[in-house]
Each structure stands twice: as structure tokens, then as C-alpha cells.
Amino acid sequence: MNRGQSFLLLLMGSVALLTLFVILPFVEYVVASAILAFVLYPFHRRLTRWLRRRISKRFGQMLSALTLIFSAIVAVILPLAYITWVFVRDLTAIAAGESSVDVAAIEAEIAAITGQDPEVGDALQTIGELLIQTLFGGLSGVLTTTIRASVGLSLALFLVYYTLIDGPAFVKWIRDTSPLPPDVTADLVDRVDVMTRGVVIGHISVALLQALVAGVGLWAAGIPNVVFWTFVMAVLALLPLIGAFFVWGPAAAYLVIVDQVTAGIFLAVYGVAVIAMVDNYARPLVIDQQAHLNPAVILLGVFGGIYSVGFTGLFVGPIVIGVLAATLETFREDYDAI
């Protein structure tokens, strides 16, 4: 390597670090936009092909991208924004010691069984304060997080548009500029594609489906703060078999404690017959056709992602670990002899 090459590599490394420093405040939204574009691209390709027969290719691409982004806003972003707002509102209320849960009835039942005087209300408040501190850096950080999320979301939508338009060219550029042999590069790109689809479709979508089904059961049984607990179940449902049970199981017991026995029995039966079946049947059906990742690894990515970058980490964390797994698998197969 001559001096010119060394200087160019040093310059590239320096500029790369400066670029990372510039985009670091919004890096989770950059990654999230790439994920959303990745999910939307198959639809974009089909819609563009359909529009191409009627209008020019370039205008068809633009119209397809705008249509899909608008659809994503209506179908995903607005509902997610509402759920997030309700989650933050209820979590803030719990941290302030205000909860619609009948704490007195729970404390009385526990006291009757154990002979102790538990402080359930104080425990709930402490948990709420801990979650507020972990997710937002305290109550004062909620407004800052909201403003930052609004700016980041606007940036992400612009990035999704240009990724849909120029994504294939970018992937081709990666293939052409990769220092790896062409067959290894192709293998790595294919593995990352399969792994990402496995995480997004095979784990996250099933967890969201299970949380939605469980949320309907909580609403029908009359559990308060349904949206809040549905969000919690969306995270816990990534733990197979027993994840969502950590919410609907105690919820059924809570209904029995507060003398709503019929509703409690209904929720328990609904949980076993419906909620658990979503996990037992939908997850293997979807995951068997996608990447195989240990659910414990997915759960680690979810909690680590949320702790590191906030709500977006619910999706970003597992995918980052999935890409790492794809890279390690490629190295094992293509460079095992080294």
C-alpha cells in the first residue's frame, strides 16, 4: 500500500466517523426508515410494474413510493403514534401514583391470604417511575423525546421515499464496491435479506398479532388501560409461550379479586383458547418459512434496543442482532477453512 492509498483510507475513515457523528442523534430513525422501506419494497416493485403500463417509468416509481408512504402513515404510523401517546399518558399517570387499577381490593386480598399489608400502589408507582426514567430520562424528557421523535419521523419518511426509489441502485453499489469476493457478497446480502424478513415477519409481526388479539380480550373483559397493557404485551409476546401471559394471566386474577368472576373466567378461557393458540400455531407457521433465530436472542434485541434508542429499538434491536447472525453464518460457511 503506497502513501496515496494510505492517505485515502485515513481520509475515508475520518469522514465516516464525522458522518456518524452528524447522523448519530437520528440514527435509529435512519435504520427504521431502511426497515420500513425494506418491508414496502416488494409492494413498491409490483405497484411500479402496474403503473409502468399506464404512465412513464420514473413517474410510476414516484407515484408508487408516495402511495405506499401515505398508506404506511395511515395504516402503521398514525395508529402507532396513538398507541405510543396513550402508553406515555398512562405510564406518566402510574408514575404519579394515579392508576385506574383497584389497588385497595388487591391489597385487601393479599392481606387476607398472607396476613401482610402490601404496598401495591407504591410498587406500581416505583415501577412507573423506573420505566419513565429508563425510556425518557425522567418526566422532563418526555417533551424532548416527543419533539425529537417528530423531527426524526419526518426525516424517516423522506428517507423511505428515496430508499424506495434508489434502493436497488444502492444495493448494486454495495455489491460492486464490496471488497469480498462476488459469491461471498451475494451470499451475505441474501442471508441479511432472509434474516431481516425472518425477524420482521416471523417474530415481530406474530408478537404484534398476539398482542392485538390479547388486547381485544382485555377490552372485552373490562380491564382498564387496555392500550397501555397491549403495548406491554407487544414486547412480552416476543417471548414465546408465556410472554403475553404475564399480562392477561394476572389480569384474569385481578378480575376475580375485584369480584368480577365471570369476566375473569372469560379472560382466562380466552387466553388459553385464543391468545396462546396464536403463539403456538402462527409463530411456527411463519418462522419456519423465514430465518431461524433463537427467541431469547430476539428478546435480548428488543429490550436492548428499547433501552438504547427508545421505542424504535423494538424493531431495530432484533434486526441488528439478526444481521450480525447472518454475517457470522456467512463467515463460518465461506471462510471456515481459514
User: Hey, where are the domains in the chain?
Assistant: 26-177, 179-337
Indicate if the pLDDT at residue 337 is higher than 70.
no
Indicate if the pLDDT at residue 248 is higher than 80.
yes
Report residue 255 as a C-alpha cell: 378480575
- What Å distances lie between residue 338 and 55, 281, 333, 334, CA to CA? 53, 41, 11, 9
**pLDDT tens digits, one per residue of 111-141:** 776 666 767 677 777 877 777 776 666 666 6
The answer to whether 105 and 249 are in contact (CB under 8 A) is no
Q: Identify which of 286, 214, 202 has the alpha carbon closest to the alpha carbon of residue 244.
A: 214
Given the C-alpha cell 460492486, which residue does it identify? Answer: 176
* 13 — pLDDT class (breaks 50, 70, 90): confident
DSSP secondary structure, 142-181, as one string: HHHHHHHHHHHHHHHHHHHHHHHHHHHHHHHHHHHH-SS-
Indicate if the pLDDT at residue 240 is higher than 60.
no
**pLDDT tens digits, one per residue of 201-238:** 777 778 888 888 999 999 998 888 788 888 888 877 77
Average pLDDT over residues 297-326: 75
Report residue 112 as a C-alpha cell: 387476607
Count other C-beta atoms under 10 Å from residue 210's C-beta: 26
Indicate if the pLDDT at residue 290 is higher than 60.
no
**pLDDT tens digits, one per residue of 43-96:** 888 888 888 777 766 777 888 888 988 888 887 778 778 877 887 887 787 777
* Dihedral class, residue 180 (left if φ above 0, else alpha if ψ from -120 to 50, else beta): beta
- What pLDDT sits at residue 242? 64
Report residue 217 as a C-alpha cell: 380480550
* 287 — pLDDT class (breaks 50, 70, 90): low
- Distance, CA of 7 to CA of 164 (rounded, Å): 35
Portion of the chain with pLDDT greater than 90, in percent: 2
Phi and psi at residue 118, in whole multiples of 5°? -75, 155
* 269 — pLDDT class (breaks 50, 70, 90): very high
**pLDDT tens digits, one per residue of 163-179:** 888 888 888 888 888 78
Indicate if the pLDDT at residue 289 is higher than 60.
no
Most confident by average pLDDT, 53-57, 69-73, 146-150, 334-338: 69-73
- What pLDDT sits at residue 189? 82
